[in-house]
């Protein structure tokens, strides 16, 4: 096409991908895209043409491959009777590639309400993905090349390794999550960023952290944002991924209670911030697989840039899962629209908060050979088992006591107190301590 430069590295690149790259060339996105990301585009095929037909085909629509009668999807009664309150089009039809527009708009409004610093800041409209893992995998496709560096704390969710290192060939570079005093180790993170200054860096932060259940304090949150700004000022081109799977589950007053994404959204032209979140934990719908990707950067100049980036994400969705579940999106949307939604979330979060406080009370009074790492939020806490093999402790708890836990790096034992009734927590921790003592 006239006016669109041929990419010298990919002369056979699709014309639509070249157009998107030209739009994004002067932005931080253009600098961070992987080889796959540069090739990605949303095709003007069946899905795009079906979308046009929904708007303009007012007589007959013979585009999308679904079966209808009277303009409504056909369905099997034994399936529909289990979902009595939703109309067929909210259950059986394909969802649009980027997700139900109503859900996307509502999720953005809720995000701004929960993160006041986002007010009046420009972000993309959240894009629906099939759970947070899918969202992270899409980011890996779009931004990670073999040999790229991904920085993350040494205590991290194991699936990150599978996604970024094993699948994409990236190099994981970790820093100690905690100082010896039990604070967030910001000095170690800043040291890594200084070593890598001037190049492309991917930083993945997960708060509340899995597996430790730790979130930054207000002071730590501010210091973290300051060091990210300093890194960007030295020329580091930073993709900041905030995995906010457990967002909102904050149990102490001194926690930095917004997503780091909120302040990073316009922190510096060299930072592309992306928020990965979802209804999975926030709305207790683990099996629904409804997640979101939201992008922001001072470098992105307006609708054209955000549209180009969204088109690339849509292309990655199209060639992976095609689209996310229509039924799951409909159920989440209806739930969020309910007048009881806010109070119900408060009720459930209060239950989890009680389990957190009871866990802290028990562990403060219970001596033992393993030590709980700092925790203040989320679903989990983790024990540092020291010289004792965490895997040996896990196996013994499982096979001799009938208690399931997770061992990590053979050094840490993760406990999901979120899944244990409050009255059973004392027995749980007493058994862990006694078993660890017997094995020491």
pLDDT score recorded for residue 92: 87
Q: What is the pLDDT of residue 210?
A: 95
Q: β-strands 200-206, 171-175: how paired?
A: unpaired
Q: Are 107 and 292 in contact (CB under 8 A)?
A: yes
C-alpha atoms less than 13 angstroms from C-alpha of 71 in its C-beta half-sphere: 5
The 10 Å Cβ neighbour count of residue 31 is: 15
Please write down the long-range contacts of 87-92, taking CB distance under 8 Å and 24 or more positions apart: 90/326, 90/327, 90/330, 91/326, 91/327, 91/330, 92/66, 92/326, 92/327
CA angle 317, 318, 321 (to 5 degrees): 65
**What is the structure's pLDDT at 77?**
79
pLDDT along the chain (440 residues), means of 10: 49 86 93 92 71 64 63 73 88 91 97 96 97 97 96 95 95 96 97 90 97 97 97 96 96 96 97 96 90 97 94 94 93 93 91 95 94 96 96 94 93 94 94 96
What is residue 11's predicted lDDT score, i.e. its pLDDT? Answer: 60
The C-alpha atoms of residue 341 and residue 283 are separated, in whole angstroms, by 9
Q: Where do the domains of the chain lie, and which CATH numbers do they carry?
A: 88-337 (3.40.640.10), 341-439 (3.90.1150.10)
Question: pTM score > 0.75 for this model?
Answer: yes
Instruction: Say if residues 189 and 197 touch (Cβ distance below 8 Å).
Output: no
Asked whether the CA dihedral 135, 137, 142, 145 is positive or negative, the reply is positive
Cα torsion for 32, 36, 37, 42, to the nearest 10°?
180
- Supply 24's token pair: 């994004």
* 63-72 burial: b if 16+ Cβ within 10 Å, else e: beeeeeeeee
């Amino acid at each position: 096409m006239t006016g669109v430069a041929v990419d010298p590295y990919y002369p056979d690149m699709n014309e639509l991908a070249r157009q998107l790259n030209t739009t994004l060339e002067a932005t931080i996105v253009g600098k961070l895209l992987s080889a796959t990301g540069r090739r990605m585009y949303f095709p003007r095929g069946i899905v795009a043409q079906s979308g046009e037909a929904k708007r303009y085909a007012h007589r007959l629509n013979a585009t999308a491959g679904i079966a209808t009668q009277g303009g409504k999807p056909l369905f099997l009664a034994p399936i529909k009777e289990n979902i009595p309150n939703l109309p067929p089009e909210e259950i059986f039809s394909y969802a649009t590639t980027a997700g139900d527009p109503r859900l996307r708009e509502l999720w953005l409004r809720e995000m701004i309400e929960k993160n006041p610093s986002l007010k009046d800041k420009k972000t993309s409209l959240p894009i629906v993905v099939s759970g947070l893992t899918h969202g992270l995998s899409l980011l890996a496709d779009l931004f990670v090349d073999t040999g790229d560096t991904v920085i993350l704390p040494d205590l991290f969710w194991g699936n990150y390794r599978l996604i970024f290192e094993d699948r994409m060939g990236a190099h994981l570079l970790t820093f100690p999550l905690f100082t010896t005093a039990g604070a967030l180790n910001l000095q170690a993170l800043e040291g890594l960023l200084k070593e890598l200054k001037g190049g492309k860096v991917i930083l993945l932060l997960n708060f509340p952290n899995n597996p430790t259940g730790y979130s930054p304090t207000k002071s730590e949150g501010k210091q973290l944002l300051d060091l990210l700004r300093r890194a960007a000022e030295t020329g580091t081109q930073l993709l900041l991924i905030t995995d906010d799977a457990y967002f909102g589950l904050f149990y102490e007053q001194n926690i930095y209670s917004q997503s780091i994404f909120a302040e990073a959204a316009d922190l510096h032209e060299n930072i592309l911030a992306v928020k990965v979140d979802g209804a999975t934990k926030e709305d207790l719908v683990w099996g629904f697989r409804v997640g979101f990707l939201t992008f922001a950067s001072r470098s992105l100049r307006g609708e054209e840039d955000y549209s180009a980036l969204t088109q690339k994400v849509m292309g990655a969705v199209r060639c992976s899962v095609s689209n996310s579940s229509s039924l799951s999106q409909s159920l989440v949307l209806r739930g969020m629209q309910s007048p009881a939604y806010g109070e119900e979330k408060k009720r459930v979060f209060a239950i989890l908060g009680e389990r957190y406080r009871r866990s802290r009370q028990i562990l403060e009074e219970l001596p033992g050979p393993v030590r709980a790492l700092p925790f203040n939020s989320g679903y989990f806490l983790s024990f540092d088992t020291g010289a004792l093999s965490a895997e040996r402790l896990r196996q013994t708890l499982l096979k001799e006591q009938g208690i399931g836990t997770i061992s990590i790096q053979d050094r840490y034992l993760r406990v999901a107190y979120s899944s244990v009734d409050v009255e059973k927590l004392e027995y749980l921790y007493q058994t862990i301590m006694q078993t660890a003592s017997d094995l020491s």
